[in-house]
Amino acid sequence: MWVLSASGCRWLGTGGSLAVAVGGYAAGTLPVLGGGPLWEPRGSALTVAGAVLAALGLTLLVAAWWRYGVLLARGLRDGVLATLACWTAPLLLAPPLHSADVYSYIAQGAMVLEGHDVYGAGPSVLGPGDLGADAAASVGGNWTHTPAPYGPAFLLLAAVVVKVTGGAVVPAVLGLRLIALGALALIVWAVRGLGGLGGGAGGRDGALWLAALNPLLLLHVVGGMHNDGLMIGLMLGGVLLATRGRWVLGSVLVGLATMVKSPAAVALLFIGVLLARGGGVRGLVKGLVLPGAVAGAVAAGASVLAGTGFGWLRTQSVAAAIHTPLSPTSDLGLGLGLLFGGEAEPVKGVVQKLGLLAALVVVAALAWRAYRGRLDPVLGLGLSLVALVALSPMVQPWYVLWGTVVVAAVAWRSRAGQVLAVLSAALVYETQPSGHTPWYGFVPAGLVLAAGLVRVRREPWALGDAGAAEGAVPPQRTRGAGEATTAPGSAELGSPD
């Protein structure tokens, strides 16, 4: 059937993306002020119709994406970049989708220009005559009085967008979408570079399928303009350069990624592993010190250049104050606190801290295995980011992309890659186009997750299924001078210590 072919998947996915965008004009995260005739809130009937259309389009996009991945796993060679262009194009002029965070970005950029302390106050400080006032009116309730948890590099970009657009909501949103597209291009470049080391063109196609064609990424990076996309693109680009022996420039990129969002700093540990392997004690010391020193210099320069100072050091935990149901440690802590009849918040705080400690232990263990040559460092980074998200006190659906994109680059057909693909497909349903998270969003998410895990268990995309065309044993990854080489691959996921 044509609908099950690569061409059919491409056009069905395009139709789904178009439906998501069109539905967003009625049911998206529309601004309270300054939206103009196209982005203004509609009546309730049109809003419901738009939400239904967007949900149907999203389901079509997810189904087309999954079928396309199956075809790639079976050895199909197709124009993945052309498919990415088709699926991305309908979202370019759409209003913000599934999140109001972009209004916070605009307001925080305006705060920088207006001279407000963006790390000491929230968007509510912007008055009616200030730049970004219309965007501030559309900021979600939880974030109106919350200082920025983002690094100065991103705030500087947001300030430039506000300066160029005069703070007008629609042009500023579209300006930030251009930055999101740049982030997507960075991701494609880095994934193609790393994927090419693990199985030629087929490896690149499959890696791009999970990393860039991923509906969760299209929805939240292109549609929602989350700055996580920029963090991932810079971070993975830095890792790619480090695998090519250019660890200084790689550390610079990771330093910039950290100045967007701080979790990117985990990549410095694995760049250190690449630098340290084969160098004995001296190499170990270099790996532990030098990448961090380079990134630290970048952080200091960005803080001074942006004029925001080092306030970002004290706002990294502000997001943890907001409870999200996707955080197992927050849910467990809250449940234990209520169960024992005392104050829930202190118990929740303890469990959250224990979760972060456990995440640090997992990251350290994965880095040690990578240093000993038992795990590919890039794969170790991806799994570390997955563990960090799973054990964090605040988890949003798009956070899963941190590790998913990295794992996709080197092990998209591994069991971990397949599970992350299922999780991505499920999490697109967790939020509504309006940015709200109603309880009923977890119903389709749970159904997709259960069905997907059963499908993966019954029909795993084992390396041997597609024959030699995919490369059952990936070639050795290039290291810097004096470094050891290993053959990365999904088989390492289960290798004994």
Residue-wise pLDDT for 331-366, tens only, equals 998 889 888 877 788 888 899 999 999 999 999 999
- What does the block give as tokens for 406? 């990295």
Within a domain: 497: no
pLDDT of residue 481: 34
pTM beyond 0.85: the answer is yes
- pLDDT band per the 50, 70, 90 thresholds, residue 475: very low
Give the whole-angstrom CA distance, residue 100 versus residue 97.
Answer: 8
Within a domain: 367: yes
Residue (of 350, 388, 433) closest to 99 by Cα position: 433
DSSP 95: P
SS3 of the chain: helix, strand, coil, percent, to 5: 70, 0, 30
Residue-wise pLDDT for 274-311, tens only, equals 999 877 888 889 999 999 999 999 999 999 988 888 88
Residue 465 has pLDDT above 60, yes or no: no
Chain mean position to CA 28: 20
- What does the block give as tokens for 140? 């979600």
List all residues 6 or more positions away from 433 whose beta carbon is below 8 Å from its beta carbon. Answer: 20, 23, 24, 27, 28, 29, 50, 51, 54, 97, 98
Give the whole-angstrom CA distance, residue 260 versus residue 424.
Answer: 23
Number of domains the chain contains: 1
Within a domain: 317: yes
Within a domain: 485: no
Residue-wise pLDDT for 33-76, tens only, equals 988 888 988 888 999 999 999 999 999 999 999 999 999 988 88
Domain enclosing residue 322, as ranges = 2-469
**Calculated CA dihedral for residues 389, 395, 398, 399, nearest 10 degrees:** -20
- pLDDT band per the 50, 70, 90 thresholds, residue 463: very low
Give the whole-angstrom CA distance, residue 446 versus residue 429.
Answer: 9
Helices (H), 399-480: 400-411, 415-427, 442-458
Within a domain: 477: no
Within a domain: 402: yes
C-alpha neighbours within 13 Å on the C-beta side of residue 67: 19
pLDDT of residue 346: 87
Within a domain: 35: yes
Within a domain: 480: no
Residue-wise pLDDT for 403-432, tens only, equals 999 999 999 989 999 999 999 999 999 999
pLDDT of residue 46: 93
pLDDT of residue 264: 97
List all residues 6 or more positions away from 141 whose beta carbon is below 8 Å from its beta carbon. Answer: none
